[in-house]
Amino acid sequence: QAVFRSNLSHLLELMGSGKESLIFMKKRTKRLTAQWALAAQRLAQKLGGVRRDQKQILVHIGFLTEESGDVFSPRVLKGGPLGEMVQWADILAALYVLGHGLRITVSLKELQSNLGVPPGRGNCPLTMPLPFDLIYTDYHGLQQMKQHMGLSFKKYRCRIRVIDTFGTEPAYNHEEYATLHGYRTNWGYWNLNPKQFMTMFPHTPDNSFMGFVSEELNETEKRLIKGGKASNMAVVYGKEASIWKGKEKFLSILNKYMEIHGTVYYESQRPPEVPAFVKNHGLLPQPEFQQLLRKAKLFIGFGFPYEGPAPLEAIANGCVFLQSRFSPPHSSLNHEFFRGKPTSREVFSQHPYAEKFIGKPHVWTVNYNNSEELEAAIKAIMRTQVDPYLPYEYTCEGMLERVHAYIQHQDFCAAPGPGPPGARALESPFILAPNATHLKWARNASLAPGAWPPAHSLRAWLAAAGRACTDACLDHGLICEPSFFPFLNSQDAFQTLQVPCDGTESEMNHLYPAFAQPGQECFLQKEPLLFSCAGSSTKYRRLCPCRDFRKGQVALCQDCL
Ligand code: U2F
């Protein structure tokens, strides 16, 4: 039985020391202790007496190991990426607060000793018992485990969770399919269950959304902040000078209306990219950065970094986030940063989560190339009053709730039953919407006992041609749920939806099940690992399994706790 913890001092010891990255993470954990403790109290109350198994967990942070080059640690104080460190610090805190047994490794040697690989033996060819129920790592760590676990890797890889900022889509994950169809990249093709990859934002529900937290304000703090805002103060998003390159015109427009602040790292001289009228504070320690956001009215994205934590922190501190729309969208096909990442996702703005899940009045996404549109937005923002806002899923309680649910319910080691769990179930009635493109699983979940998420939250839609299931579900206020694909992957499902199939074929294709309009052919998915919410083609109308979700917690269905 796991017992919630509110004292994090032992966790701080477990985190070790030395590297700047670890120092940054520990400072963060220490600062957030009270928030975690309060969140644990609230979640304990919410869950009542529900039994929570205590798991033995290994956290191996691969990108911080010397063996993978550890390029991040030396840049912590120089404006390099901190988002990953924010997330790992919060993952560790969440696992610890939930009461699990924890080991943390940031070197190959420590990894080997925790896995029980005999000293001096780089690789253990025998299957050895694994003393952990779960392992959280990243792509670097995964590679190291593959190299050093011998046969055990295959046996135990279902216990691994891969923290993967931008996500891995099923088409890239399936080795054979990726190789045959041009989805092979540096990172993908591990043939894991796509839900084993855990992302920073809810990009595609094919992966699990892990997230991180942002500090939450109490009502008094919110009131004080609202009263203390300087309506003409703007902070530019970007710790590295290169982000400011080519933004002179934008800055001169903004400078007409607002006092501009920056937190750009510099060594001795002001970086030439940052104009003299900007008040540059240099890279700030995290708490001071938060204080700056508390005073500011506007936080401005210049297009990079993509999808970091800072805009959420700004919005939580009562700022409006202004960002540019990307047209055409950025993706692994056209942008260096995304190239080689195992996803085809198109990014329509610097921070799609802020745009799609938060939106106005907190988030304004405009075309920066249009000076009139930009100027009008700045003026309107200066007149708008906004309250500090933090989506529940990014609070400590929200993160604890989600990680608790994953740990108790996600099991990728269970042997698959004979055929998809829904194949038989589909003989039972569906409720059809009048236009027959929407169906709801009407029977109770007893048809797939123990399934998580429970089968009764399934709502199915036949998407329009060219529409991905991710978007088709969102269009209806729902979220795509890949674990429900087996329920829809049958001739019966098409029949129930009154889709006029002239013929039905079963093939490996990450867009299936789907209906091809020319030819009136229905296609079923042959390879369960390729069930994918992401992906679209104008050739197909995809059959999409959607589900409801808890308000502010997109990872969990209404009955998922
Ligand atoms: C993202 O990484 P970044 O580190 O560039 O993300 P940011 O949104 O800039 O913020 C990370 C943290 O840096 C902190 C701030 C955030 O929590 O409080 N910070 C600070 O301590 N001092 C300052 O002066 C300014 C900010 C993303 F998270 C990564 O996954 C990506 O790899 C990267 C590139 O897209 O962007």
Helix (H) or strand (E) holding 237: strand 233-237
pLDDT band for 154, please (50, 70, 90 cuts).
very high
From the alpha carbon of 263, which atom of ligand 1 is closest? 24
Give dist(CA 214, CA 335) in Å, integer: 29
Whether the model clears a pTM of 0.90, i.e. scores above it, the answer is yes
Buried b (16+ CB within 10 A) or exposed e, 130-167: bebbbbbbbbbbbbbbeebbbebbeebbebbbbbbbbb
Q: How far is the CA of 346 from the centre of ligand 1 (A)?
A: 21
pLDDT band for 442, please (50, 70, 90 cuts).
very low
Of 457 and 347, more confident:
347
From the alpha carbon of 240, which atom of ligand 1 is closest? 5
Report how far Cα 420 is from the mean position of its chain's Cα atoms: 27
Least trusted range by pLDDT, from 136-140, 344-348, 422-426, 444-448: 422-426
436: pLDDT strictly greater than 50: no
Return the pLDDT at 437.
54
Average pLDDT, the chain: 92
Q: How far is the CA of 242 from the centre of ligand 1 (A)?
A: 15
C-alpha distances in angstroms, 543 versus 31, 470, 503, 550? 46, 11, 16, 23
pLDDT band for 496, please (50, 70, 90 cuts).
confident
Percent of the chain's residues with pLDDT above 70 = 92
Residues with CB under 6 A from ligand 1: 81-84, 86, 165, 200, 239, 263, 283-284, 286, 289, 305-310, 313
Q: How far is the CA of 311 from the centre of ligand 1 (A)?
A: 9
Mean pLDDT of 49-53: 93
- What pLDDT, in 10s, does the model give residues 500-537? 899 999 999 999 999 998 889 999 999 999 999 999 99
Return the pLDDT at 151.
84
- What pLDDT, in 10s, does the model give residues 164-213? 999 999 999 999 999 999 999 888 789 999 999 999 999 999 999 999 99
Return the pLDDT at 426.
38
Return the pLDDT at 414.
84
557: pLDDT strictly greater than 50: yes
Instruction: Give the residue among 425, 420, 461 at the shortest CA–CA distance from 440.
Output: 461
Return the pLDDT at 422.
39
CB 122 within 8 A of CB 58: no
Q: How far is the CA of 238 from the centre of ligand 1 (A)?
A: 8
Mean pLDDT of 461-470: 95
C-alpha distances in angstroms, 526 versus 205, 391, 490? 20, 38, 11
Mean pLDDT of 544-559: 96
Return the pLDDT at 417.
47
Mean pLDDT of 440-458: 67
Return the pLDDT at 415.
67
User: Which of 77, 82, 198 has most ligand 1 atoms within 8 Å of its beta carbon, as the pocket-test mutant?
Assistant: 82
Of 440 and 62, more confident:
62
Looking at ligand 1, which residue's alpha carbon is closest to its atom 15? 310
- What pLDDT, in 10s, does the model give residues 184-193? 988 878 999 9
CB 250 within 8 A of CB 236: no
Q: How far is the CA of 237 from the centre of ligand 1 (A)?
A: 9
Give dist(CA 547, CA 461) in Å, integer: 10
433: pLDDT strictly greater than 50: no
Return the pLDDT at 518.
86
Strand partners for 535: none
Return the pLDDT at 420.
42
DSSP 377-430: HHHHHHH--------GGGSHHHHHHHHHHHHHH--S-SPP-SS-THHHHTTS-E
Strand partners for 522: 504, 515
347: pLDDT strictly greater than 60: yes
Mean pLDDT of 304-309: 96
Q: How far is the CA of 239 from the centre of ligand 1 (A)?
A: 8
pLDDT band for 445, please (50, 70, 90 cuts).
very low
From the alpha carbon of 283, which atom of ligand 1 is closest? 24
CB 363 within 8 A of CB 330: no
472 three-class SS = helix
Instruction: Give the residue among 315, 303, 252 at the shortest CA–CA distance from 278.
Output: 252
Return the pLDDT at 439.
61
Return the pLDDT at 522.
97
Buried b (16+ CB within 10 A) or exposed e, 109-118: ebbbebbebe
Return the pLDDT at 430.
46
From the alpha carbon of 310, which atom of ligand 1 is closest? 8
- What pLDDT, in 10s, does the model give residues 113-147? 998 876 655 555 556 789 999 999 999 999 999 99
Looking at ligand 1, which residue's alpha carbon is closest to its atom 30? 83
Return the pLDDT at 440.
58
Least trusted range by pLDDT, from 76-80, 185-189, 352-356, 401-405: 185-189
Give CB contacts under 8 A, 24+ apart, made by 352-355.
Answer: 352/201, 352/307, 353/201, 353/202, 353/307, 353/312, 354/311, 354/312, 354/315, 354/321, 354/323, 355/323
Q: For residue 252, what are the contacts with CB-CB under 8 A and spacing of at least 6? A: none
427: pLDDT strictly greater than 80: no
Q: How far is the CA of 309 from the centre of ligand 1 (A)?
A: 6
- What pLDDT, in 10s, does the model give residues 22-42? 999 999 999 999 999 999 999
328: pLDDT strictly greater than 50: yes
Give dist(CA 279, CA 236) in Å, integer: 10
Of 441 and 452, more confident:
452
Instruction: Give the residue among 148, 151, 174, 138 at the shortest CA–CA distance from 64.
Output: 138
Return the pLDDT at 386.
95
538: pLDDT strictly greater than 60: yes
Going by their DSSP bridges, the two strands 160-163 and 134-137 should be labelled as parallel
